[in-house]
Amino acid sequence: MIAPGANAAAAAPQLRVAVSAATVRPHQRYAITVTGRYGLVASGAPHMLAFLQYSRASCKRTATAEYRLPGREWDWVFGHVHQQAEDRSPFKAVADWTAGTGLGRRRVCAYLYWTDISPQSTVKPVATASASFRNI
């Protein structure tokens, strides 16, 4: 929710995903960074979730749709224990990873919601972002 008189464009939620390397090799370490900002919210803090897809497929429109993919096609980056509440804007979350032995294109898909969601939620994200890289 935007405060009365606030500039709606300035308060529009933003999300960005970056991977520290465009290509990685098996057992190489790399970092996934999700940054974002948002305006005022009615209550609580927005929740950010991010998934690592093991394919070249586009990100789904919602985190709920990502949940529906077969488990072998994705992994959590952020949100696996509890969804990551981002109580400060701007925010930055970094996850260190080690590349596995499966080769091919990977995609990181991030979602920002005004509330906690479940696999059955029909809520739409307020911001989405993605980045891709290759394991060669």
d(CA 52, CA 19): 11
* Reported confidence tier of residue 87, pLDDT bands at 50, 70, 90: confident
46-55 pLDDT per residue, tens: 999 999 999 8
Is the residue at 112 inside a domain? yes
Domain span including residue 108 = 8-135
**Look-up of token digits 């898909």:** 109
β partners of residue 33: 18, 94
Domain total of the chain: 1
Nearest CA to 41 out of 78, 74, 73, 13 is that of 13
CATH code for the domain in which residue 129 is found: 2.60.40.3880
CB 99 within 8 A of CB 54: no
Is the residue at 2 inside a domain? no
11-66 pLDDT per residue, tens: 789 999 999 999 999 999 999 999 999 987 656 789 999 999 998 889 999 999 99
CB 112 within 8 A of CB 15: yes
- What's the pTM value of the predicted model, to 2 decimals? 0.86
* Reported confidence tier of residue 2, pLDDT bands at 50, 70, 90: very low
Is the residue at 1 inside a domain? no
